[in-house]
Structure 1
Amino acid sequence: MSSFSAQIRGWKTVIFALFLREWQSRFNDKLGLSWAFIEPALFILVLSFVRGKVSGGDVHSIPIFIFMLIGMIGIQSFLSSLNSVSTAIKKNKPLYAFRQVHPISAVITSAFLEFSIKTVVIVLLSLAVYLMEMPYSFDNPVLLIGVYLLLWIFSTSIALIFSIGAAYVPEIDKIKNFISRPMFFISCVFFSLQDIPTAYWHYFNWNPVVHFIELARYACFTSYGKAGVSLEYAAMCSLVSLFFSLSIYHLTWKTILSR
């Protein structure tokens, strides 16, 4: 039992050291963490202005700024985790010479860093909305937190699969970039699923990110509704992708160390 506890403590120490290293490398410029808040805030303002010119007023009972904020946070959480975590194994390869450092430690560290950054950004954006006295609502905070955690699990799992694939075939990063580019346009960021005729919903709601974003909007404003999306589907995609990615890692991690 003491040996197991020592292993856990050693693993926590490794992850903490990797976390500090990753943090310093990510925010070594003058803007630092503030840019992680400024960039999405500016983007949301621009998109809200464009969406306001197109439709005007609220979007299915949600104020335009809040509508765009939820969509942007959702898609950026997915894409930033995908891009960052998928390079974690390759980026930390020199550290695997130390037997305490395993590829999964680098993946967990990168995923937790992205989660921490996005959580801080969400808090700052929520504070900005409150200070600007914009109408807002958190009708179902438990659902909102659950959806965010499922999104984080899903994005980390998909990123782990790409990270393992890149260890064998480096060109897989190009496939990842090709797949991720249209995600912004097919994930209901700028528009609602309810804006689309129901006959065409199946072209969009196969995408789990659509369910995460639309359910987050519903969790904030239950008047928005959740037509066309399902928490069960979102949870299933997250858990299946987590099981699949960890299974692949379990089968390949020793080979990854030798590549």
Structure 2
Amino acid sequence: MAFVKHRTILQIWLDVIFAIFVREIKSKFSDKLGISWAVAQPVSFIFVLSYMRSSIEGGETHSIPTFVFMVYGMICIQLFLTTLTSTSGSIKKNKQLFSFRQVQPIASVIAVALFELVNKVVVISVLALIMYFIKIEISIYDPLRILIYLISIWLIALSTGMLFALARAFIPEVDKVRTMLQRPLFFISGVFFSLQDLPENIWIYLQWNPVLHAIELSRLAAYPIYGAVGVSELYLFLFTLTITFFSLCCYTLSWKQAISR
């Protein structure tokens, strides 16, 4: 005798997200290197750039090891950029799945964003292991705050990516605009510099960027002697809440029209 398993709406939603999450892994890493390439590529990129900067300058940058200074910046900006890029294409990529009643576009966006978050957690673990073996001091004064800042960056990227994904369904050229706007972020988000290195009269042109605030605050949370200036935890949290709320409102109003186009 067959039994019918009744699931709640939440269980169905979680099952859908997990299924798309697994599908994302299989689709991205179907070659011989497999999922290990998802970790090896960002680890090598972060390590090489950080090591080069520390070799050139040596010693410390504003009281923290230069290598660590770079690692925090590289991890944060990569989390933001990869999540933004993946989520902005998630609706179009998984459009054929939306013919199933249980599958909605937001599940696709969340699943893709979760994959990028899990990927960066593994990258951070590998980098910490490398730093331990090459005897680079690892100091984390306030790990909870660092985690909160990383989640804030992830939420901002997820929300912004969902906005671009919805807009892309109506105007495909929006994706080119996203690419153009995304490129300078690597250089204006404090990855290679601190606001302490710049004259105060140009801070106003950079302080609108929440990623800059998150990077500087994460360095401060790890090393209280860093003394970050010109950044605000309140601004970061308010920006995160605002963009998340705005993206959810836009999604609620337009997701049905977006998938029908």
Question: Aligned match of 2:11 in 2, 9, 12?
Answer: 9
Contact kept? 1:82, 1:155, Cα under 8 Å: yes
- Partner AA of 2:24 in structure 1: E
Contact kept? 2:43, 2:126, Cα under 8 Å: no
TM-score by length of 2: 0.94
In 2, Cα distance between equivalents of 1:9 and 1:254: 22
Q: Does 1:47 align with 2:49?
A: yes
1:202-254 residue CA offsets vs partner (Å, 9 max, x unmatched) = 12111111001111111111111121111111111111000000000000011
- Partner AA of 2:207 in structure 1: N
- Report the counterpart of residue 100 of structure 2 in structure 1: 98
- Report the counterpart of residue 163 of structure 1 in structure 2: 165
Question: Aligned match of 1:206 in 205, 208, 226?
Answer: 208
1:52 CA drift (Å): 3.4
1:29-76 residue CA offsets vs partner (Å, 9 max, x unmatched) = 222232233223332333234423553321111111111111110110
Q: How do 1:62-81 and structure 2 match up within 5 A?
A: 62-81=64-83
Contact kept? 2:213, 2:233, Cα under 8 Å: yes
In 2, Cα distance between equivalents of 1:69 and 1:31: 25
Cα RMSD for the two superposed structures: 1.5
Q: Does 1:217 align with 2:219?
A: yes
- Report the counterpart of residue 173 of structure 1 in structure 2: 175
- Report the counterpart of residue 3 of structure 2 in structure 1: none
TM-score by length of 1: 0.94
Specify every segment of 5 or more residues in structure 1 that has no aligned partner in the other structure, as ranges.
none
- Partner AA of 1:240 in structure 2: T
Contact kept? 1:217, 1:224, Cα under 8 Å: yes
1:131-190 residue CA offsets vs partner (Å, 9 max, x unmatched) = 222112001111111101111111100101000000100000000000000110101111
Specify every segment of 5 or more residues in structure 2 that has no aligned partner in the other structure, as ranges.
1-5
SS of the residue corresponding to residue 46 of structure 1 reads helix
In the alignment of these two chains, the number of paired residues is: 256
Q: Does 1:196 align with 2:198?
A: yes
Contact kept? 1:139, 1:222, Cα under 8 Å: yes
In 2, Cα distance between equivalents of 1:36 and 1:191: 27
Note closer, same or farther for the CA distance 1:172–1:151 as it changes in structure 2 (3 Å cut): same
Contact kept? 1:140, 1:220, Cα under 8 Å: yes
Question: Aligned match of 1:147 in 132, 137, 149?
Answer: 149
Contact kept? 2:25, 2:35, Cα under 8 Å: no
SS of the residue corresponding to residue 207 of structure 2 reads coil
In 2, Cα distance between equivalents of 1:145 and 1:205: 21
Contact kept? 2:53, 2:67, Cα under 8 Å: no
Contact kept? 2:39, 2:119, Cα under 8 Å: no
SS of the residue corresponding to residue 8 of structure 2 reads helix
In 1, Cα distance between equivalents of 2:51 and 2:123: 21
